[in-house]
Structure 1
Amino acid sequence: MFNHGLVCTDFTDGLDKMIHFVSALGEGGFKEITFLHSVAIWNEGEIPRIDRDKVEEAKKKLSPALNNVPENMKVNIEVLSGNPSDNILATIKKYNIDLVITGSPVSTSLEQIFFGSTTAKLRNKLRIPMMILRPQLMSVYRNDEFALRCRNLNSFWLVPYNHAPHHRYILEKIRGYVEIDKGNTLKECLFLSVIDEVSRSEILTENKVKEAENKLAEIQKSFVSSPINVQTLVKRGNILEETFKIAFAHDVSAIALADNLKEDSIFNRLVQLAVGNNANYLLNCSWFPLIYFPMNKQ
């Protein structure tokens, strides 16, 4: 499904541990893995320059990834100076990356507005999926747990779905991946619709539930002959609360999200903070791995 992965690490996010689990990543479907670390430009003195000592130090830290590489895999190490977001975009182009794996601390939208983050910036520049893993979670895995996680990064997706354009976009992406992957990596998908009980009319709520069930039934039917197991579920309540409950109950490997945000501006972020954005909230607060699909940007 994903052949060329890019693991971006700052050595505090727990993702650098993946250098010891290249074979497990290969079992999870990857044929090529690139490890990237960005070193800040050295600003001491009159002329900014590359901090070559830190570059060499980072290369040495990542070098174990080159040991015992399976015959059917390739591993690359990139240590670049400058802006992390720019370095990631350049590396994506260089190695034809189809999935970026990055870490992101649990934070609030307000913190991102004022302080920003590499992940938040990437979210609005990428044209390929990005998997976001929590440092606090990755850092405490024991080796056997970490290997299992690497093998199952993309085995079971929970897909919040209400037939909005960005949800239909994910659906079409999944269809494309299944056609190529044949169920070797992505083995299960659970499409979840949550009906918000804000209406005082029980009849209106019931109609919405029936409509959601019918749409999900059509989706499930379309995957009958596919090699993956597609489940559907309609719940009542708060979409964020129900999404987390279902993720726990069904032992998913990641929550799949998309949105139609077209530009990275403080105005748009403030609008999201003011009116609420479910994808944005999940990106900031979920302890589950998230796979984010940026809609094609013009």
Structure 2
Amino acid sequence: MFKRLAIATDLQDGLQRLSHFLPALGAGGVEAVTFVHGVPYRDTGVRTREDTEALAQAEAKLTLPAETGGVQANCIIRSGKPAEVVVQVAREVGADLILVGTQQRNALAEKLLGSDSLNIMRKCEIPLMVIRPQLVQVLTAEELDLRCRHLFYHLLLPYRGRAESKLLLNSVLTQVQKSPTPQVVCCHLVWVVEDPIRRDFAPDPQEIQRAEQELQAVAAQLTPHIPQVYTHVRTGNPVEACLTLAQMLDISAVTLTEAHMTNLWDLSASLGGELLRRIPYPLILFSTPEK
């Protein structure tokens, strides 16, 4: 699905560990990996200058093994705002996916503190894969090796027939057609019927039937490219339904588009924003076409 990865790391999120699993990434179909680290300029009060000490420390920490399993690998450490450095390097190397780590935060913390992951998404047209640092940090070497082989094997795709859902479907279809390897083996389509006002509403059977029919039509578009496609119609809260299904199913990552994140920088809820804050699974975020 994605062949050329730019892995952004702050050297505290654990993503630098992936440098030791390049053969596993290659076994999963990845062809090239660039590790990226941005070092902010130092403000001396009169003018800004490069933080040579931090640059040297980063170069000592971010290294590549001799054996890469045939994967083209590179490390780029640059001075600048981390988000801007990542976007610049990803474009330079022709990355088709950027991997970033992000901590779980509530809406207020995001509003006040911001996030390099969110800044990258705002600036860049390249899809983003958001990984919880805790996921990488706690896995054993054997577990992480397996994870690297199966980054895109099983996807969860929220769908509801709206513009952002169709954009997500088209983005996934375009990517699997363009890069059939690494292969997506399985995709779970999820439609959640909800009432935005009442929590205890009785769902309309006709709406459920319509959702099932439309999901079957969407599944028909995916099956020529993904061997296993399953449909799920649920009722209630979309975020809770996606969290529950992700726990029950064999999910590698959840897919969304930037359009799902419309309210992410407000305190109001959105499906993408709430999943980004709460779900422990990796998220693949596709950009909007206007960029």
TM-score, scaled to structure 2: 0.92
| Residue among 104, 110, 113 paired with 2:111 | 113
Partner of 2:51: 51
Distance 1:200 1:118, change over 3 A: closer
Question: In 1, are the aligned partners of 2:261 and 2:273 still within 8 Å (CA)?
Answer: no
Question: In 1, are the aligned partners of 2:84 and 2:120 still within 8 Å (CA)?
Answer: no
Distance 1:57 1:191, change over 3 A: same
Secondary structure of the residue aligned to 2:48 is coil
The CA distance in 1 between the partners of 2:114 and 2:225, in whole Å, is 41
- The RMSD of aligned alpha carbons is 2.1
Distance 1:3 1:201, change over 3 A: closer
| Residue among 251, 266, 269 paired with 2:265 | 269
Distance apart, 1:45 and its partner CA: 6.3
Whichever residue aligns with residue 114 of structure 2, its letter is G
Per-residue CA deviations over 1:121-155 (Å, capped at 9, x if unaligned) read 12222212101111122111100011111111111
Question: In 1, are the aligned partners of 2:159 and 2:191 still within 8 Å (CA)?
Answer: yes
Partner of 1:216: 215
Per-residue CA deviations over 1:216-270 (Å, capped at 9, x if unaligned) read 011122334334211111011211111011101112001111132799xxx9722
Question: In 2, are the aligned partners of 1:124 and 1:262 still within 8 Å (CA)?
Answer: no
Distance apart, 1:99 and its partner CA: 0.3
Partner of 1:39: 39
Question: In 1, are the aligned partners of 2:192 and 2:236 still within 8 Å (CA)?
Answer: yes
Distance apart, 1:201 and its partner CA: 7.4
Report 1:206-245 matches (<5 A): 206-245=205-244
The CA distance in 2 between the partners of 1:193 and 1:249, in whole Å, is 16
The CA distance in 2 between the partners of 1:147 and 1:6, in whole Å, is 18
The CA distance in 2 between the partners of 1:199 and 1:87, in whole Å, is 44
Distance 1:200 1:24, change over 3 A: closer
Which is further off, 125-134 or 45-54? 45-54
Partner of 1:151: 149
Whichever residue aligns with residue 285 of structure 1, its letter is R
Whichever residue aligns with residue 283 of structure 2, its letter is L
The CA distance in 2 between the partners of 1:199 and 1:59, in whole Å, is 53
The CA distance in 2 between the partners of 1:102 and 1:226, in whole Å, is 27
The CA distance in 1 between the partners of 2:288 and 2:4, in whole Å, is 20
The CA distance in 2 between the partners of 1:49 and 1:238, in whole Å, is 49
Match status 1:294 vs 2:287: yes
Question: In 1, are the aligned partners of 2:264 and 2:272 still within 8 Å (CA)?
Answer: no
Partner of 1:84: 82
| Residue among 179, 184, 187 paired with 1:186 | 184
Whichever residue aligns with residue 293 of structure 1, its letter is F
Secondary structure of the residue aligned to 2:165 is helix
Report 1:168-187 matches (<5 A): 168-182=166-180, 184-187=182-185
Distance 1:69 1:12, change over 3 A: same
| Residue among 86, 99, 102 paired with 2:100 | 102
The CA distance in 2 between the partners of 1:223 and 1:16, in whole Å, is 34
Partner of 2:132: 134
Distance 1:156 1:143, change over 3 A: same
Partner of 2:68: 69
Whichever residue aligns with residue 237 of structure 2, its letter is N
Unaligned segments of structure 1, at least 5 residues: none
Distance apart, 1:112 and its partner CA: 1.2
Distance 1:292 1:142, change over 3 A: same
Identity of aligned residues (%): 27
Distance apart, 1:170 and its partner CA: 1.4
Secondary structure of the residue aligned to 2:57 is helix
Partner of 1:25: 25
The CA distance in 1 between the partners of 2:253 and 2:163, in whole Å, is 21
Partner of 1:278: 271
